[in-house]
Structure 1
Amino acid sequence: MESLTLSNQFLIAMPNMADPLFARALVYLCEHGEHGAMGLIVNKPSGVALAQLFDQIDLPLDKSATGSRPVYFGGPVQPDRGFVLHTPVGDWQSSLTVSDDMALTTSKDILLAVSEDKGPERFLVTLGYSGWQSGQLEQEIAANAWLTVATDPSIIFEVPPEERYDKAMALLGFDPSLLSGDIGHA
């Protein structure tokens, strides 16, 4: 039997999420399998602008609109490392292809391309990522910590960050105020 993969899905933190790092978090899962899972929180700006990050890595960034874009808090794992979620996939040095049109790149060549206005059509930059050991995410889902839903890339790239959680929740087709953090039987 083939195992279920949640790659290219949204993880939506349940309203009762106890961990403040993940409260109202919307995570895009980039990888999920028998060895664990890896994703990026896509709705929590870090307070750092792209221009500031590019200054720190000695890359010029001429486009003022691009420079003012937020860098996101992708999660608590490797918070000093940058991750670029983008579409189209392209041909970068170190990329994980998540779907036919979405990839995660960690190599500096993509940042250089962005600085020269030759980067991917749509992209989001994070510092850090969210990771789960083998079986951990499945346990958290079973414990009612997360909801999953198919990804809509427009939520990541077109919706303001403060609205992404609610837009992803709306993909489920019910009123999130009806959710309960309790598990059990009626």
Structure 2
Amino acid sequence: MDQGFLAGQLLIAMPGISDPRFERAVILICAHDDEHAMGLAVNRPVEGLSVPDLLERLDIQSEIRARPDLVLIGGPVERERGFVLHTADYHSEHSIELGNGYTLTATRDVLEALAQAGPHPRRALLALGYAGWGSGQLENEIKENVWLVCDADDTLIFGADHAAKWTRALAKLGIDPQFLSSTAGRA
């Protein structure tokens, strides 16, 4: 598998996924190589925690009215760690380019930029935690029909209708979820 093979792509959980933390999940793959894969769920809001609330808790003074977007649960690993997934129009020395116009920054500077009138990302989401896979684990899960893969787009990543993202991602592949089965076979 090529270095960065799935980076910038979306994973869509299949029905019947054995881990309830990923039921109906849509995950943007941020890094993928021979040794690991890392991604952020883009459709799992933390109920009652918005970006302005989090900025206030972190004592980041806002010059502008921050969008009331909900903070997301990026995945079950390191839930106390924050990540900002944003458009590539903003870049700091700590940012990692994901390709397809997306960038990941995990430092306070991007949070401060979101609260200021100066340069900041056009679109962003804040996630706590991430999803991670060891060497070959994600590839095996895809072979076992745990995940489907589709191209990412701004609506699926940054849209506010989190409940509809799973269905929209499937529709992007031409799949109606009512015709999906939680069991798979081999021909």
Q: What TM-score results when the alignment is normalised by the length of structure 1?
A: 0.91
Percent identity of equivalent pairs: 40
Superposed CA deviations along residues 76-114 of structure 1, whole A, max 9, x for unmatched, are: 111111100100242213111011511111111111111
1:92/1:107 contact within 8 Å kept: no
Give the letter for the 1:15 counterpart: P
CA distance in 1, matches of 2:3, 2:90: 28
The residue number in structure 1 matching 2:97 is 97
Alpha-carbon spacing, 1:5–1:183, altered in 2? closer, same or farther (3 Å): same
1:36/1:133 contact within 8 Å kept: yes
Tell me how large the CA RMSD over aligned residues is: 1.8
For structure 2, the residue ranges without an aligned partner over 5 or more in a row are none
CA distance in 2, matches of 1:63, 1:91: 20
Return the offset for 1:3. Answer: 5.8
Give the letter for the 1:130 counterpart: A
CA distance in 1, matches of 2:112, 2:170: 35
Matches for 1:31-180 after TM superposition, within 5 Å: 31-47=31-47, 48-64=49-65, 66=67, 68-118=68-118, 119-180=120-181
SS at match of 2:150: strand
Tell whether 2:146 aligns with 1:183.
no
Which range moves more in the overlay, 150-159 or 15-24? 150-159
2:12/2:147 contact within 8 Å kept: yes
Which range moves more in the overlay, 10-19 or 153-162? 153-162
Give the letter for the 2:60 counterpart: L
Give the letter for the 1:51 counterpart: P
1:9/1:149 contact within 8 Å kept: yes
Count of paired positions: 185
Give the letter for the 1:83 counterpart: F
SS at match of 2:155: helix
Return the offset for 1:56. Answer: 2.1
Give the letter for the 1:33 counterpart: D
The residue number in structure 2 matching 1:20 is 20
Give the letter for the 1:61 counterpart: S
2:82/2:129 contact within 8 Å kept: yes
CA distance in 2, matches of 1:74, 1:46: 10
1:88/1:122 contact within 8 Å kept: no
Superposed CA deviations along residues 101-158 of structure 1, whole A, max 9, x for unmatched, are: 1111111111111111332000010011111111110111112111111112222123
